[in-house]
Amino acid sequence: MSERRADRSAWLRPALAGIALLLSCFSAAAQVRRETLDIGDEPGRVSTEEVVIEDGPYARQVVFFRSQEAPGTVVVHTSERFLYLVMPGNRALRYGIGVGREGFTWSGLVKVSRKAEWPDWTPPPEMIQRQPYLPRFMAGGPGNPMGSRALYLGSTVYRIHGTNQPETIGHAISSGCFRLANGDVIDLFTRVPVGTKVVIRHGPSI
């Protein structure tokens, strides 16, 4: 009986070692995917348009905001993770946002060039080169990483858009776009017309 057990043990050891190696490979591949999916996207994950940030600093709220910009201007502070819609009387409507990760931050002055509801997503060639597993095109809808609305910024590839991952608000995770929870970007979409001035600031405000 002991010889049979010894034979079984000798046969099982290499099999178990092979399984462990295979699981390790799958885990490593999953880790690489998590690290390289640079906009935090999960194509196909469904998030409804009603999602908003209701609590904490990233909840939509009117705040004191001293600015020389005219009411109606959008000011994005990437380092703070906030987007401000300037209002009269040194006030602004503030939204929590997700921003570009290190190496993908930018600043400048642009205008909203167009708007879209449930926009399609066509990853640019640079993103496809970095992440060849991404879809080349994805129709708009609840499972689209672009979310429920998009405001296109000038002639750049960047947008202010929704997301199917509202838990990423407040993080530096994108490839340069600015993301809001779907309910918040719908609110912003109704307030901001095409042609609106958008100021992108990366450094902390003074």
The Cα 145–Cα 168 span in angstroms is 12
**DSSP letter string, 54-82:** -SSTTS-EEEE---SSPTT-EEEETTTTE
Token pair recorded at residue 70: 């005219």
Token pair recorded at residue 119: 């926009």
Which of 25, 77, 161, 202 is catalytic? The answer is 161
Is the sign of the CA dihedral 68, 72, 74, 77 positive or negative?
A: positive
Asked about 177 being catalytic, the answer comes back as: yes
Asked about 161 being catalytic, the answer comes back as: yes
Query: Around Cβ 166, how many Cβ atoms within 10 Å?
Result: 21
3-class DSSP assignment, residue 140: coil
The Cα 148–Cα 114 span in angstroms is 15
Helix (H) or strand (E) holding 3: helix 2-36
| Residue whose C-alpha is closest to residue 75's, from 185, 201, 206 | 201
Q: How many helices and strands, by DSSP H and E, does the chain display?
A: 3, 11
Cite the active site residues. Answer: 161, 177
